[in-house]
Chains A and B, each alone.
Chain A
Amino acid sequence: MHELALTEEICEIIAKSAQQEGLRRVERVSLVVGELSTALPEAIEFSFYAIIPNTSLEGARLDITVEPLSLDCRECGLTGFYCPPPKLVCPSCQSREIDIKAGQHLYIDFYEGE
């Protein structure tokens, strides 16, 4: 349940930024969670709504976009393909020499407020 620690970090980053931007209220937070980011979207959501009451993020809505894996094959050069985790294989040459280009990120895309 490291999602609680991650979500505290999310709220802290946004609260700090909102203060710098002179926003009194945060209404919506857009978060990108990679399919292989090690964080569970449901657990982040649960933590988020548990943390925000009585903070500057109170009443904000959390939107999570799951970022699917995007893979490159080091063997045959195929790029941008998908393979369901956990066993990553190149669909063209069956190699396991694979680079993960996307799907491991965990980042705050943007937030909205007034």
Chain B
Amino acid sequence: MCEGHDHKEQKRVNLATSVLAANDSLAQENRDIFKDMLVVNLVSSPGSGKTSILERSLLELRDEFSLAVIEGDVFTDRDAQRIKKTGVSVIQINTGGACHLDAKMIRKGVDQLDLDGVDLLFIENVGNLVCPAGFDLGEDFKVTVLSTTEGDDKPAKYPAMFKKSAAVLVNKVDLKEALEIDLKALDAELFEVSPQATVFHVSAKTGEGFAGWLDWLKAEIKKKQAIKLG
């Protein structure tokens, strides 16, 4: 090496660090905050009826349980305004462009909500069947809504979201005749892509199928509370 020459040393730094490490650690902090309540992260394409499902579910559950909602959208507080009419406390998060909610945004929302005594917190994610699958928010599980108007071929096209869901709500089944959708074929595909998910056929408009979905939710709330007591 010549004297006076800059000594440059090539260096390899082994990181082996998950890109989502920061989000995952914030999600874990959220999970600690959520230890006394069931938290459901509702995901779907835009327009599948997440908010309508929420409205009906909240009205059916509000006498029995203490509820809260975090609404996620790119812009506007339209969904929060709809939820407010059910009397359930709600906070709207606007991502301002981002296609998904992350653990940090949830934490901000949580800081503005009174979660004392809450049994069930719903997080309605940004309408998007791809990106929200990658981000842990600290929820107990994801529930995917798939509406009949989207067609029966979506689970295999967007597998990550379905694979990560504890339940799938097939919404707008009141339209099945008009759409000539093959619900059996859809169920078969859901079983092939996401065998772990419990599937409910529902209509947020008529209330069809809600009894099964709500019974399942109630059982999950009780399971979470049993963990808390045990």
Contacts and interface: CB of A to CB of B under 8 A. Distances in A.
Interface of A: 1-2, 5-6, 9-10, 13-14, 17-18, 21, 23, 27, 31, 36-39, 85-87, 89, 96-97, 105-114
B186 interface: no
B10 A114 contact: yes
Contact of B133 (A6, A17, A38): A38
A18 B13 CA distance: 8
B191 A96 contact: yes
Contacts of A10: 19
B192 interface: yes
B130 interface: yes
Contacts of A86: 155-156, 159, 163, 193
Interface SS majority for chain B:
mixed
B17 A108 contact: yes
Interface stretch (B51-59, B95-103, B175-183): B95-103
Contacts of B16: 107-110
B229 interface: no
B85 interface: no
Contacts of A38: 130-131, 133-134, 160
B22 interface: yes
20 contacts: A2-B98, A2-B99, A2-B130, A2-B134, A5-B102, A6-B20, A13-B17, A21-B11, A36-B160, A38-B160, A86-B193, A106-B19, A106-B20, A107-B16, A107-B19, A108-B16, A110-B13, A112-B10, A112-B12, A113-B11
A21 B160 CA distance: 36
Nearest to B156: A86
A38 to B, nearest CB: 4
B26 to A, nearest CB: 12
Given A23-B11, A36-B160, A114-B11, 6 more contacts: A2-B135, A13-B21, A14-B15, A86-B156, A106-B18, A113-B11
Interface string B1-32: 00000001111111111111111000000000
B131 A110 contact: no
B151 interface: no
A1 B23 CA distance: 17
B18 A111 contact: no
Nearest to A20: B13
Contacts of A96: 191-192, 195
Contacts of A113: 10-11, 13
B94 to A, nearest CB: 16
Most buried by A among B10, B15, B192: B15
